[in-house]
Amino acid sequence: MATIKLENIEKCYTKDTPVIKNLDLEINEGEFAVIVGPSGCGKSTLLRLIAGLEEVTNGEIYINNKRVTTTVPKDRDISMVFQNYALYPQMTVYENMAFGLKMRNEPSELIKEKIQWASKKLSLEKLLSRKPKELSGGQKQRVALGRAIVREPKVFLFDEPLSNLDAKLRIQMRTVIKRLHEELDATMVYVTHDQVEAMTLGTKIIALNEGVIHQVDSPINLYSDPADTFVGKFIGNPGINLIPVNISENFEIHIEGKKKNPIISEDIDTKAIFKNHSKKKVILGIRPEYVVLNEIKNNGDILEGELKLIEPLGNETLYHIKLDDITLISRHYEHKHSDWNLGMKVNVNFNLEKALFFDFESKKRI
């Protein structure tokens, strides 16, 4: 087990355009840290910097309090698992797993023991004499995992290891990796663009966008307590609804051009929340499960939206509603509106106790 510390890391591939910007991060012993963010945000770069496969432009990296900023990868005591498996095609499964150990001149009896141990853990016993081309994607990835664990490194690094697998296999492999983490008690750093994978695997999640960390937190906090609109939108499927609203002089919330204004109820203390935002625009963030739709009974005090799309998913139904130029998503856990049609008008209500508010300029939580 090991700790990892990144201090003021900057990485530029081309002069003066950093893809990682003054980044600080600490990963504790035994943690399963998941770096999550959209494609191109710098996740792989960050992992490769920890591995030593890329050099930092500025900053320092420590593994177990030892400075490794300029240490070559093989001396960092890490194992990395890649999306494309990176197996040697001419070698058998056994030879692939043994390769790193042979390079370290470990005795062949010990190598055999370790491979037996790893192949049992990963159900690879019957595949040891096969070549990679005779394996399915899931099997190849299990071999790649086996090769990583036999080396018994201090740190495991995973770069989107499940992205090439189909959805069902991804779920199975998630369980395998999670179990490995529990059994090996190792420090793991895992990169993915898939927020579900991040939430299910991670004990600590690092939300990254454009080379900047937006939040480091537990999966639940990331969902219920996002630091800014990026995290709110990225985490959750679908993400949080974001609605620009105006705060009046007496701290009421107004949606532009809507009949039902103000939309506020007694549920929240707007005076306290908006003490620095009176007469300003802010962003109201509300998760789909807290947007409640009802049929319009009378035309009085309503916030009227138009039903644009219905997605019945079995355990839940998602309703896409257009509110002028904003599209909102409402999640209902019962499919009770089977008579609702596209184009019909519905009354939109927000469970404002659950609303989150963000500064319009900085996009950070108020």
The piece of 40-48, 128-136, 216-224, 278-286 that touches ligand ADP (CB under 6 A) is 40-48
Residue 81 binds ligand ADP (CB under 6 A): no
Residues contacting ligand ADP: total by CB under 6 A: 10
Q: Please tell me whether residue 42 binds ligand ADP under the rule CB under 6 A.
A: yes
**Residue closer to ligand ADP (CB basis): 78 or 127:** 78
Work out how close the CB of 40 gets to ligand ADP at its nearest, in angstroms, rounded to a whole number.
Answer: 4
For position 139 contacting ligand ADP by CB under 6 A, the verdict is no
Does position 44 bind ligand ADP by CB under 6 A? yes
Residues facing 284 on adjacent strands: 243, 357
Give least dist CB 162 to ligand ADP, A: 14
Classify the C-alpha dihedral 148-149-155-158 as positive or negative: positive
Q: By the 8 A CB rule, do 181 and 170 touch? A: no
**Using CB under 6 A, which of 39, 65, 105, 298 touches ligand ADP?**
39
CA-to-CA distance for 185 and 30, rounded, in angstroms? 6
CA distance 37 to 210: 9
> Running DSSP on this structure, what letter comes out for residue 46?
H
Choose between 56 and 135: whose C-beta lies nearer to ligand ADP: 56
Query: Per CB under 6 A, does 13 bind ligand ADP?
Result: yes
We find the least distance from the C-beta atom of residue 215 to ligand ADP, in angstroms, to be 16
330 in Cβ contact with 319 (< 8 Å): yes
- Subset of residues 14 to 33 that bind ligand ADP, contact rule: CB under 6 A: 19
Q: Of 23, 31, 36, 43, which lies in the binding site for ligand ADP, with binding defined by CB under 6 A? A: 43
Q: Min. distance of Cβ 131 from ligand ADP in angstroms?
A: 30
Each residue of 303-334: b (16+ CB within 10 Å) or e?
Answer: bbbebeeeeeeeeebbbbbebeeeebbbbbee
DSSP-derived pairing of the beta strands 187-192 and 155-159: parallel
- 211/232 with CB nearer ligand ADP: 211
CA gap 288, 283 in Å, rounded: 15
13/117 with CB nearer ligand ADP: 13
Whether residue 226 contacts residue 356, with contact meaning beta carbons closer than 8 Å, is answered with: yes
Cβ at position 146, least distance to ligand ADP in Å: 25
Does the footprint of ligand ADP cover residue 330 (CB under 6 A)? no
Locate 76 and state its tokens. Answer: 């960092």
- The answer to whether 137 and 83 are in contact (CB under 8 A) is no
Stretch of 21-29, 39-47, 290-298, 321-329 contacting ligand ADP, by CB under 6 A = 39-47
Residue type, 77: D
Q: Which of residues 37 and 236 has its CB atom nearest to ligand ADP in the complex?
A: 37
Rounded distance between C-alpha atoms, residue 170 and residue 147, angstroms:
19
How many Cβ atoms are within 10 Å of 364's Cβ, its own excluded? 13
Q: How far is the CB of 188 from ligand ADP (least distance, A)?
A: 17
Instruction: Give the binding site for ligand ADP (CB under 6 A).
Output: 13, 19, 37, 39-45
